[in-house]
Chains A and B, each alone.
Chain A
Amino acid sequence: MANAHHPAAPLGGSLVTPTTLLLAALVLVAAGILAVRFLFGLGAVTNISDGYTWGIWVVYDVVIGSAFACGGYTIALLVYILNKGEYHPMVRPALLASLFGYTLAGIGVIFDLGRYWNAWHIFWPGYAQINSVMFEVAVCISAYIIVMWIEFSPAFLEKFGKKELKKKLSKLLFVFIALGILLPSMHQSSLGSMLVVFGNQIHPLWQTILLPLLYLMTAVLIGFAIVIFEACLSSAGFKRPLEMHLLSKLSKLMIWVLAAYLAVRIGDLLVRGALVRMFEGSIEALMFWIEMGLFIAPLVILASSSARLNPSKLFIAASSLMLAGFLLRINSYLVGYEPPIGWHYFPSVPEILVSVGMIAFEVLGYIVLVRYLPILPGNVETTVAQIRK
């Protein structure tokens, strides 16, 4: 096998840099805004209303945030279920990003819940309402966060030299790995299912009983894209060489899944007779074109195998796909949602700053942990030693 992978190793290096300081500042700003929210109510800092009561704190922080955290899901699916061992070096970095993304999405829910002190009711027999799609989403996301921390714990155990415990855990790890595939499959599809009950309040370009499938397929796709995206960024940021052979193979798989997604998406629109709605002169139709364009672009960019060996093309294609998945969610939850009465919504600046602060927190955490824990493949000691001095 050509995939002799090097054991993961901590990167080391300084934690105080202009980048980390900027990130920390953004986190503080968000914390300040949240303090106002908890003192004076959601209306004090957001633009949400009864017409659009779910703003970006739901749609971005939770729905999109968790989808962007699907790198760990996609890679685990490849390595452990489809037995593509060559991607093994990507498991830990992807899992770490997922762990952060999901943990923050979970915390983000609390910021948005009006009566957050009752949040535990969701899990409480007698209160829990199993017909609610949100119940299933909440249970599966919470369980997945716990499962990921367990999956990830070998990295901590390694750091703290708990060899015995690590061994015991490794024996059971396959159970958590299986759960780590099942749970995201369930809740990522359900994030689409949540919209089905809105009926004709969602524009026909998005309202379909296949929403769970569309959300699931795009979650896997975003998982591919985010892994490529993060590999490019972290190679630039930490000055490490890119694992091109892996990334180009990965991107080939990605475009096959993408082609399948587009077939399902367009087929569904045709069957429902909704495709013609893309020609109506509306903001919904325009956004649909942009969304579809962003989905189709990676297919074109990465069509040839030489393109798949070109880092900048890979990066652009991955970014396009992430944006496409982002737009599918924004469009189905916000743009395509028409409340029964004429309302409008655009997020307020403090609202956006909170979401930005959450992203900053995520990036900051990632930087700290890869420098501190054995996460990235340790095959580049010399390069790292060079930047350290």
Chain B
Amino acid sequence: MSINRRDFLKGALAGVTLLAAAAPAEARPNNTMPAEAVGLLYDSTLCIGCKACVSACKDANNMPAEFSMDEHYWDSPLDISGKTLNIIKIYKEGTGENKDQEKDGFAFMKVSCLHCVDPSCVSVCPVSAMTKNPVNGIVGYDKEICIGCRYCVVACPFGVPRFQYDTPFPQISKCQLCRHRLAEGKYAACATVCPTGATLFGKVEDLHGEAKRRVALKAGEMSEFPRGNINTHDQSSHTAKAAAYLPKIYGEKEVGGTQMLKLAAVPFDKLGMPTLAEQSNASISETMQHTMYGGLIAPLAFLGALTYAAKRNVKEDEHEE
């Protein structure tokens, strides 16, 4: 038996209806930065690799020590993990003698959550355990809501959220920009303790202005570098020679922008930061979903067509029996 023409035409009609229903859904552009967004500016050229921020982060978040050497004397994480939210990684090439040089040099890079403007982790989380604060833009996590599906772990373009594999009651760990300290009138622990201002806290707008200023400096030119909190000037600034900055502010555009900005003198891909498009992955995925399922119009139209066909054919089917 073949599909008769009437059935075929109906099927085709239903298909066209489906497409027509799906078409009006608008592409969702990248989300935009909240007005009061706060973040960090990390300047690789100012970083001296002292790791004060790594241990301050552990203290501020009550995270356990992690050991990468045989002797368990002190905390020595090699990467962020279920127990570590922030580390300083080192790049080394050739003789590794010269700071902030690609050849025969070395450089540092801070690894922690970038607090994306349009975060993948928030877009993929099926239960709203990852959320972006609409006012300050901090991407926070609530373990009481989380189901542990780890979609955020796979989806984050920077590999930031980590999971705990060695416990029956695991949770996700990721930097939440010390939002618990903000509530106490303090700010990010890593920026608070940074001796050189390599990690600076403040409003993203102001951090962005400062980043632009630094990029425009001539290499070797003396300049003032604020420390701690760029908005409250709670710490004295210090004077230093400007490095040969690359003309790039990492995080300005990547996946729709991030609230943590980074400066360096060695190319960012060498420092482990991925090269990413300006369009956020979240917006691509959500546009696709909304096109197919916006207002449930297409699925309902499809269901209508299916019910109609099924009703006719099930009846015929029963006659046969």
Which residues of chain A have a CB within 8 Å of any CB of chain B? 1, 3, 5, 7, 38-44, 46, 48-51, 53-54, 79-86, 88, 112-116, 118-119, 121-122, 124, 126-129, 131-136, 138, 170, 173-175, 177-179, 181-182, 185-186, 189, 193-194, 196-201, 209, 212, 337, 339-341
Whether B170 lies near A114 (C-beta < 8 A) is: yes
Stretch of B42-50, B98-106, B142-150, B195-203 contacting A (4+ beta carbons < 8 Å): B142-150
Instruction: Please name the residue on chain A nearest to B320 by beta carbon.
Output: A85
Stretch of B178-186, B215-223, B227-235, B275-283 contacting A (4+ beta carbons < 8 Å): B275-283
Whether B7 lies near A49 (C-beta < 8 A) is: no
Whether A44 lies near B309 (C-beta < 8 A) is: no
Whether A114 lies near B149 (C-beta < 8 A) is: yes
Q: Apart from A186-B299, A193-B289, A200-B276, what 20 extra A-B contacts exist at CB < 8 Å?
A: A41-B170, A43-B166, A50-B81, A50-B162, A79-B317, A80-B313, A80-B317, A83-B1, A83-B4, A114-B150, A115-B148, A119-B147, A127-B145, A133-B285, A136-B293, A198-B281, A199-B157, A200-B277, A212-B288, A339-B159
Give the distance to chain A from B194, nearest Cβ to Cβ, in Å.
24
Q: Is B64 an interface residue (CB 8 A)?
A: no
Whether A88 lies near B277 (C-beta < 8 A) is: no
Give the distance to chain B from A117, nearest Cβ to Cβ, in Å.
9
Contacts of B41 in A (CB 8 A): none
Partner of A199, one of B81, B163, B277: B277
Whether A178 lies near B151 (C-beta < 8 A) is: no
C-alpha gap A197/B320 in the complex (Å) = 48
Give the distance to chain A from B14, nearest Cβ to Cβ, in Å.
10
With A54-B150, A122-B126 in contact, do A81 and B310 touch (Cβ < 8 Å)? Answer: yes
With A53-B150, A174-B311, A177-B310 in contact, do A83 and B126 touch (Cβ < 8 Å)? Answer: no
Q: Is B70 an interface residue (CB 8 A)?
A: no
Contacts of A129 in B (CB 8 A): 125-128
Contacts of B52 in A (CB 8 A): none
Whether A1 lies near B274 (C-beta < 8 A) is: no
Q: Is B154 an interface residue (CB 8 A)?
A: yes
Partner of B302, one of A48, A82, A185, A340: A185
Whether B314 lies near A179 (C-beta < 8 A) is: no
Contacts of B276 in A (CB 8 A): 199-200
Q: Is B32 an interface residue (CB 8 A)?
A: no
From A44, A80, A132, A197, name the one whose CB has the most chain B CB atoms within 10 angstroms.
A197
Q: Is B71 an interface residue (CB 8 A)?
A: no
Whether B288 lies near A115 (C-beta < 8 A) is: no
Whether A118 lies near B145 (C-beta < 8 A) is: yes
Give the distance to chain B from A137, nearest Cβ to Cβ, in Å.
8
Map CB proximity to A onto B292-311 as digits: 1 under 8 Å, 0 otherwise: 11000001001100110111
The 3 closest A-B pairs by CB, nearest first: A114-B148, A43-B165, A115-B148
Whether A196 lies near B149 (C-beta < 8 A) is: no
Whether A116 lies near B316 (C-beta < 8 A) is: no
Q: List 11 A-B contacts (CB under 8 A).
A: A3-B1, A43-B165, A50-B153, A53-B163, A113-B148, A122-B147, A132-B124, A170-B318, A178-B306, A182-B302, A197-B124
Contacts of B151 in A (CB 8 A): 132, 134, 194
Instruction: Please name the residue on chain B nearest to A176 by beta carbon.
Output: B310
From B156, B292, B317, name the one whose CB has the most chain A CB atoms within 10 angstroms.
B317
Whether A81 lies near B124 (C-beta < 8 A) is: no
Contacts of A197 in B (CB 8 A): 120, 123-124, 155, 281-282, 284-285
Instruction: Please name the residue on chain B nearest to A199 by beta carbon.
Output: B281
Give the distance to chain A from B270, nearest Cβ to Cβ, in Å.
14
Whether B285 lies near A196 (C-beta < 8 A) is: yes
Give the distance to chain A from B254, nearest Cβ to Cβ, in Å.
11
Contacts of B145 in A (CB 8 A): 118, 121, 127
Whether A134 lies near B124 (C-beta < 8 A) is: yes
Whether B313 lies near A179 (C-beta < 8 A) is: no
With A41-B167, A113-B149, A193-B285 in contact, do A182 and B313 touch (Cβ < 8 Å)? Answer: no
Give the distance to chain B from A92, nearest Cβ to Cβ, in Å.
13
Contacts of A186 in B (CB 8 A): 293, 299
Contacts of A46 in B (CB 8 A): 165
C-alpha gap A340/B162 in the complex (Å) = 13
Whether B165 lies near A41 (C-beta < 8 A) is: yes
Instruction: Please name the residue on chain B nearest to A112 by beta carbon.
Output: B149
Whether B313 lies near A83 (C-beta < 8 A) is: yes
Contacts of A42 in B (CB 8 A): 165, 170
Give the distance to chain A from B127, nearest Cβ to Cβ, in Å.
4
Contacts of A7 in B (CB 8 A): 321
Contacts of A177 in B (CB 8 A): 306, 310, 314
C-alpha gap A138/B315 in the complex (Å) = 32
C-alpha gap A129/B131 in the complex (Å) = 10
Map CB proximity to A onto B1-14 as digits: 1 under 8 Å, 0 otherwise: 10110010001000
Whether A115 lies near B147 (C-beta < 8 A) is: yes
Whether A84 lies near B1 (C-beta < 8 A) is: yes
Contacts of A86 in B (CB 8 A): 1
Whether A116 lies near B309 (C-beta < 8 A) is: no
Q: Is B168 an interface residue (CB 8 A)?
A: yes
Whether A135 lies near B126 (C-beta < 8 A) is: yes
C-alpha gap A123/B79 in the complex (Å) = 35
Whether B125 lies near A81 (C-beta < 8 A) is: no
C-alpha gap A84/B7 in the complex (Å) = 11
Whether B159 lies near A50 (C-beta < 8 A) is: yes
Whether B299 lies near A182 (C-beta < 8 A) is: yes
With A115-B147, A134-B151, A186-B299 in contact, do A128 and B159 touch (Cβ < 8 Å)? Answer: no
Give the distance to chain A from B212, nearest Cβ to Cβ, in Å.
27
Whether A136 lies near B289 (C-beta < 8 A) is: yes
